Each structure stands twice: as structure tokens, then as C-alpha cells.
Structure 1
């Protein structure tokens, strides 16, 4: 059964690894612990700047980075974009990359660590419940719309991987978002429930029982059980069946490792995850919608399913990046550039 839970975790989206397993130490070379290529190393006049902030959300301290455009003037007004990170990821990784690139285009952007994750508060650590992740997005909107210079009427949303699925869910009801975009959208609930590409349909009840037992143990004051707390060898990684698995390990465990990014989440979270679906009531999205995914991504089916169900808006596009896999949209320059070109045009038109 341990093997089953591990696979569920791995299928769950943009995987992360514990700091102890990381072989890369790029975060140590950056004063803001950013791990992406081209990351800000210092704030300079006339350039994009980064501003670490902390704010309260439902009694918890949320750790976030706000990026401001070159020559930012708080007396002027700017459009803003909220950026939601992948499951297992943190604000210093791909969410920070896209937030910085958008700031370079003139937007004030925010990327925050999810509650109970990263540098944000919350106990037990690494609770991963959809309701919390959706509330994180509402909370980022709360904060950034009150940031100096932000035009509250021009607020965009960008969700990456698992953050993309949660962004769709948040946007069904939060009409502050003028337009919504996703990159490599991952429907966390669907995958936790059915497995990646429907690979675990025969163990749903068994896994739900295990999650129920884990919650009962927590309620009784017992040990917090975690799913996905695994450490694979290079040989084991090479044998994983999907690109998302193999390249996810490479990204989170080696090339873009960060100590706050972790692979594990509380097993009891599965009670909430397995009844969630990012496409539930997606027809309530009545704003411009852009979904971006790679043609070689084995997660592409999730963007295609969500796009088909998003019938509440006629202003929508599914843009496929030729040759890109899921994880490659996180860091490969040509694919990030392709996504950014599309996002720039989209937000220019809609914000």
C-alpha cells in the first residue's frame, strides 16, 4: 500500500523534493533564494525589483514576493497579475520566474507560498487541501489590489500546474480577476482520485480508507502521516513511466531545488483532494481565458478537458507550445519565451 500512496503523490503535480535530497544549491547563491535562470540578485533603480512581504490570511502569516516594473512609481497605476505556484513548488521557482518576466512587461506581480507550505505559516506542515489553495489565490488578490500603484480594475490571474487548476476554481466565483491564464494546468483532485492518465481507478476506495485512517490518527493526537515522502535513486527515476515524473524529479530535486519545496503532503489531505475537481462549475468563468500547454506534455489532456468544459466564456484559447513537455514550460528558455509571448499579448488585450 505504501507503493500506491507514493504513486498517488508523484502523479499529483509538479513534484518537489526535500532539501536533503537536493544536489543543486543555486538558492544559496541568491540573496532572495531564487532558483530560476535570470533571477534578480539585487534591487537596482530603473530595473524590475523584488519585494519580500508577509501578510495575514485567516490567522496565518503568508510569505510572498512582489515584483515591480522598471522605474516603478507608486503614484502611477499599473495592471497586476497574481501567480499561483505548482503543487510542491514554492514562490522562488517557476512562479517567481513568470512573475519576474511579467513585471518586466510592466505588471506588478505577486507570487506567494501556499498556506501550510514553503515559508508561510500553518501547522501541521504541508497540508495540501484545495480549499486552502483556492483561498491562497483570493488572499493574494486581497493583498496586491491594495498595493501602491495597482489598478484594481486590471487584475489578471496566472496559475501554473496545480496552481493552474486552483486558479480555475478560484476564478469561477472571484470576479476581481479580469482575465485568467494557466500554464501546464494540472487538475490535482482528478489525479489524486483517479491516478495520472486514469491509472489508479481500481484503488480509489483503498486509498480513501488509508486517508480516513490517517485523519482519525491525527484527531486522536497521533503521528501525522505523509504521502509522497520518497527519495528515489537516479536509476529508479529513469524507470518512472511518465515525463512529468522523470523531469519533475530533475527540476525539483536537482536543477531548481529549494529547501522549502517538498514532495510530501499530509495523507489526510487526500480526503479533500480526492473529492475535488478543478473543472467543477468551470462554466461560471465568464472572463477571457488562455490555457497554455506543451504538445508533448503527458498532462495535456487536463488542459484539453478543462478548456472544453469552459463554456461560460467565448473569449478563450488553448495555446499549445510545439515540442514542449509539462516541466519544460517551467524553465527551457524557448518554451518559456513562447509562453511569455502569448501571455504578454493576452494580458495586453484583456488588462
Structure 2
């Protein structure tokens, strides 16, 4: 594995990403690639990299795991923005980068996203047909979540609050940072929190896989674009690539079960698979060996079928392959 900096075209910062390569990697060959996108509040060192990215690399893929702009090792100010449109631009910039690598076949690039990264990956695949296959792992439509649970089901009130906070910060007030999860599971339970997703997130980020780059936070004054955003818009007509949707059958407050059912039903993809993993919940699919093993047993053959078995591009370099 190595960490690279990817220039964000038109921006003043770079995207940090880890590249994982298959065993016996040969720079003289061209490999299929998968871009693996982390959840909201997460980073490249967590589930997108150390679970799904690592397994896909072992299975023969070049895997690129980026940090979101304004978060983790990536640049961008102010910090801790959660901007859906910027996240989709990031993913498309990473596709550009993948196509420039001499050891990646530019015609065999897939995408995988987890939680909010799954929703963002769906939107990127809707608009970017260079992405040849997509897997959403317990994917969430962050716009829907912002209009519902993350705004206490008062999106207009949330927008008014964000506007007031931005005005205050422009006048010199301290930034308001929304910390997504409590400091510990015990703290969450003491506060009366019972939702399986909040407790699962707290356990994952505070206990099971803490990482310096995982902010688990959002700058409130810049969160308004997410309230009016929809990961699934136009899926009925424009989401045509092969699609696999994976989630557990124990639903929680973040809504991956309902969002998974919705995008599976709405997608125009002729080749689409629904994988409902019985007995497991949202955060079990981040790192628990049993449900992640079930997911990988389905998604690795899916990517091999749609990427590895595709004819390799005949062009001698990515620039020629794109013309």
C-alpha cells in the first residue's frame, strides 16, 4: 500500500488516497480497479480500506481508497465540511487519476461505497459512465437522512439554524461542530440512546476501529447543501450500470435498509443484485468477519464478472483509451 496525493482540478487542495495492489503486482500489466469510498465521518484507514479495500486487492484488483475533501488526509478549508456534491466531484477526480495510471485498465473501473459513501457512489455512477459496476454496502441517502433524523424531522428549522450560525461565524463567532457520535457506548446509554445504529457507530468509531483521520463530525454552518440533496435522483433512467446493493436485515435509525430497498427498486440497471444479510445490522457490515465475509463472497465475484472478464482496452496508454 502507498499513499498518494491527487490534484483536485480547479481547486487549491489535493485528495489523499491509499492505493492497494494485488499479490504479485506487476507494473507492466493492466489491472481492473475499484474505488472504495468511506462512510460519512470515516476515513481511508477504516472499513473502506482495511476491510473491503484489502479484500478486493487480495482478489486481484487495484484499489484506490480516497479521503473526502476537507477531511482526513485530504486538503480543503474549512475543515469537516460534508458536501455531497463535492464528494461526488472527488470520486470523479479519483476516476480521472485511476485512468492515468499505466497499470490500470481505464475501461475496467468499478466503485464501492459504504454508508453515506454508498449514497455518494450511487450518485457518481448515475452521472459518470466510466464507472462500469457499482456495489453499495449498507448505503444511505445522506440528503434523506439530513431531512429526517439529522434535522429532528424539521429540515426548514435546520436550514434556518444553519443560516443563523453562518451569519454568526461571519461576525467572528466560534464554529459549531456537530459531533456525530457520543464519546463512548456507556455515555450513549446513559443519555438514553437505544438506536442500534447510533450505538453501533459509537462502538465502531470509539472502540473497534478508532483512527486519527476519522472526524465523525460536521461543520454545521456549511451543511445546508446536504439538506436539499438527493443521492437517488434520476436513478430510474440514468443508473444503468450493473449494481449490487448489500445491507443487513436489522434496520436502524440511519435508514440503510429502506434506502437499499428503494435504490434497488428504482435503478434502471438491467443487471442488479439485492443482498440482504440476515441477522446483522449497519455497523456489523463495517468489520464483523461473518457479515463482511458474506458480503465479500457476493461482491468479489460480481466485480470479477463485470470488470475482470471485460476485454482489456487495446490502447497503449490511458490518453489513447479515452479517445
- Asked if TM exceeds 0.5, the reply is yes
Aligned partners of 2:110 and 2:131 also within 8 Å: yes
Q: Which residue number corresponds to residue 213 of structure 1? A: 164
* Structure 1 range deviating more: 138-147 or 60-69: 138-147
1:65 correspondence with 2:39:
no
CA distance in 2, matches of 1:135, 1:155: 16
The DSSP-based 3-state class of the residue aligned with 1:323 is strand
Question: Pairwise CA RMSD of aligned residues?
Answer: 1.6
**Structure 1's 246 and 229: CA in aligned 2 closer, same or farther, altered over 3 A?**
closer
1:305 to 262, 281, 286: 262
Aligned partners of 2:182 and 2:202 also within 8 Å: no
**Structure 1's 71 and 192: CA in aligned 2 closer, same or farther, altered over 3 A?**
same
Task: Using the TM superposition, give the Cα deviation of residue 292 of structure 1 relative to its aligned residue in structure 2, in angstroms.
Answer: 0.4
Q: Which residue number corresponds to residue 264 of structure 1? A: 217
Task: Using the TM superposition, give the Cα deviation of residue 221 of structure 1 relative to its aligned residue in structure 2, in angstroms.
Answer: 4.8
The DSSP-based 3-state class of the residue aligned with 1:103 is helix
1:319 to 263, 272, 275: 275
> How many residue pairs end up in the alignment?
298
CA distance in 2, matches of 1:302, 1:149: 35
Task: Using the TM superposition, give the Cα deviation of residue 281 of structure 1 relative to its aligned residue in structure 2, in angstroms.
Answer: 1.4
Task: Using the TM superposition, give the Cα deviation of residue 241 of structure 1 relative to its aligned residue in structure 2, in angstroms.
Answer: 2.8
1:204 correspondence with 2:155:
yes
The DSSP-based 3-state class of the residue aligned with 2:146 is helix
The DSSP-based 3-state class of the residue aligned with 2:78 is coil
Task: Using the TM superposition, give the Cα deviation of residue 306 of structure 1 relative to its aligned residue in structure 2, in angstroms.
Answer: 1.6
1:151-189 alpha-carbon deviations (Å, 9 max, x no partner): 111110101110000001111110100111110001111
CA distance in 2, matches of 1:340, 1:232: 31
**Structure 1's 128 and 150: CA in aligned 2 closer, same or farther, altered over 3 A?**
same
1:152 to 86, 102, 106: 106
1:52-78 alpha-carbon deviations (Å, 9 max, x no partner): 111211221211100010111111111
The DSSP-based 3-state class of the residue aligned with 2:100 is coil
Aligned partners of 1:159 and 1:181 also within 8 Å: yes
CA distance in 1, matches of 2:170, 2:266: 38
Q: Which residue number corresponds to residue 23 of structure 1? A: none
**Structure 1's 307 and 279: CA in aligned 2 closer, same or farther, altered over 3 A?**
same
The DSSP-based 3-state class of the residue aligned with 1:276 is coil
CA distance in 2, matches of 1:290, 1:230: 29
Task: Using the TM superposition, give the Cα deviation of residue 268 of structure 1 relative to its aligned residue in structure 2, in angstroms.
Answer: 2.1
Q: Which residue number corresponds to residue 17 of structure 1? A: none
CA distance in 1, matches of 2:127, 2:201: 31
CA distance in 2, matches of 1:244, 1:336: 17
Q: Which residue number corresponds to residue 240 of structure 1? A: 193
Q: Higher relative contact order by CA 8 Å / sep ≥ 6: 1 or 2?
A: 1
Task: Using the TM superposition, give the Cα deviation of residue 234 of structure 1 relative to its aligned residue in structure 2, in angstroms.
Answer: 3.6
Task: Using the TM superposition, give the Cα deviation of residue 215 of structure 1 relative to its aligned residue in structure 2, in angstroms.
Answer: 2.1
Q: Which residue number corresponds to residue 318 of structure 2? A: none
1:343 to 284, 296, 299: 299
The DSSP-based 3-state class of the residue aligned with 1:295 is strand
CA distance in 1, matches of 2:53, 2:184: 32
1:114-158 alpha-carbon deviations (Å, 9 max, x no partner): 000001111111011101111111111111121231011111010
1:141 correspondence with 2:92:
no
* Structure 1 range deviating more: 180-189 or 301-310: 301-310
